[in-house]
Amino acid sequence: MSEFDAIVVGAGPAGSSSAIKLASSGLSVLLVERADPPGSKNVSGGILWGNELAKVIPDWEKNAPLERFVVSKGTGLLTDDSLISIDFRSKKLENNKTGYSVLRAKFDQFLANKAKASGATLVTGVTVDKVAFKDRKVIGVEQEGDVISSDVVILAEGANPRVAIDSGLREPIGDRDVAIGIKEVIRLPETTINERFNLRGSQGYAGEYVLGFLKDGVKAGGFLYTNKETISIGAVINAADLRANNSTYSYNIMEQFVTHPFIAPYLEGGKVEEYSAHLVCEGGIKSVPRLSGDGYMIAGDSASLGFSNGLVIQGMNYAITSGIAAAEAAIEAKTKGNFSAASLHSYDEKLALNYVLEDMKNFKGIEGVTWSSLMHKAVPRIAEKVFFDMFYETGEPKRHLSEILLESIAGSGMSKSQLILEAYRAARRM
């Protein structure tokens, strides 16, 4: 007989949500986390979209350590001298709250404690070496030669799924699977944040930017999220570009972003409290491995379940949804007494029926848009030229927009035919 019904590796949003569901359903659960306390090794700060947590914590919005709710969503293109942005604000976002900024160090600890309160055994500061096999079936986990047995193992270890890779349950990740994320958490008074972003009370801002000013062929995006008394700001950098360039470093790009003339004023007078780096899932559906097999399932970032289309970045909600789905599949398998690959394939079926895999399939190839020269080089240059020529008064006769646009395209570095083709491809994928 196994020591546990289920072992969950990783106490992030996927792992803890899974453990809460499992333990609440009466299964014996071991939740193993290498950080002590949970969340301390995560890059702090992000936006939690959606209401998936209500499935396991009905009152989460009242009790979770949330920072601000998103009432303003921005998307911007940055060039050397300009910011071209869309700032969407709506009372509908305030009346129907769908996005909250969180600090992962606090949020992950809250979730792990909820798992413990639900009956899961929480062990922190322990690194799992690999899963344990018997007759090619996963029967538990191994740590320093000791095996802890379970009927099923759920791997939810994050974007660098070392246990899954070392155990041969997925291929090693490469440059096309992940990007390099750099983040700072900068402390500012709450009143200062509210004034600079035109916010009131617990209202918050979430913005993503294309860093169109970068040189040497490197492509990167930026993000800025407001918390109660801090700002989470960072850059997501194409790993292949950094490797090919071999002279530009991630911290160089981060420095260029935070000192940009239209970003720096938001941060002026702030104190950097955290500086950290992390891998970010960017490979789309092509990076998703086999999700289940004999005695195991893979959830969250470990399964490359993340979405970015340049306008919005989502990961925590996918992690929570997949973690709960894995738990539901494990509960069904326990009822049948069958933890075979065929039985646990119900996890794949659940993900196929909910929005996670549907999103990733519908937006197949979106990474080709988010990391394209069209989005990072041509579009920022064209937009800057068009708006500058439209708004700048020279005392001379004004030109038609079509003339300005054609001239801007000519100076974008792409031919009209290339631009049309790339725009068509982008439109199809988005």
Tell me which residue of 315, 267, 305 sits closest to 107, measured CA to CA: 315
CA distance 262 to 87: 14
Tell me which residue of 127, 152, 157 sits closest to 142, measured CA to CA: 127
Domain boundary among 244, 261, 281: 281
Which pLDDT band holds residue 426 (cuts at 50, 70, 90)? low
Q: Taking a C-beta distance cutoff of 8 angstroms, is the pair 30, 116 a contact?
A: no
Q: Is the dihedral of CA 229, 90, 364, 216 positive or negative?
A: negative
At 230 the three-state DSSP class reads strand
Which pLDDT band holds residue 246 (cuts at 50, 70, 90)? confident
Q: Does residue 356 sit in the same domain as residue 223?
A: no
What's the number of domains the chain is made of? 3
Domain boundary among 233, 258, 281: 281
CB neighbour class for 146 (10 Å; exposed up to 12, middle 13-18, buried from 19): exposed
Q: Does residue 156 sit in the same domain as residue 13?
A: yes
User: pLDDT exceeding 90 applies to what percent of the chain?
Assistant: 68
Domain boundary among 255, 281, 307: 281
pLDDT in tens, 195-240: 999 999 999 999 999 999 998 889 999 999 999 999 999 999 999 9
Q: What is the CATH number of the domain that holds 59?
A: 3.50.50.60
State how far the alpha carbon of 145 is from the alpha carbons of 3, 148, 198, in Å.
Answer: 16, 10, 56
- pTM value is 0.92
Q: Does residue 295 sit in the same domain as residue 353?
A: yes
Q: Which domain covers residue 53, as residue numbers?
A: 4-65+103-173+287-364
Backbone angles phi, psi at 426, to 5 degrees: -65, -45
Q: Does residue 162 sit in the same domain as residue 54?
A: yes
Task: Spell out a b/e string for 215-248, using b for 16 or more CB atoms within 10 Å of the CB, else e.
Answer: eeebbbbbbbbbbeebbbbbbbbbbebbeeeeeb
Backbone angles phi, psi at 230, to 5 degrees: -145, 165
- pLDDT at position 364 is 85
Q: Taking a C-beta distance cutoff of 8 angstroms, is the pair 150, 139 a contact?
A: yes
Q: Does residue 56 sit in the same domain as residue 144?
A: yes
Which tokens go with 357?
């895999």
Q: Is the dihedral of CA 378, 425, 429, 304 positive or negative?
A: negative
Mean of pLDDT values over 173-183: 92
pLDDT in tens, 20-39: 999 999 999 999 999 899 98
CA distance 320 to 328: 12
pLDDT in tens, 30-80: 999 998 999 887 877 899 998 999 999 999 999 999 999 999 999 999 999
Provide CB contacts within 8 A for 411, sequence distance 6+: 381, 385
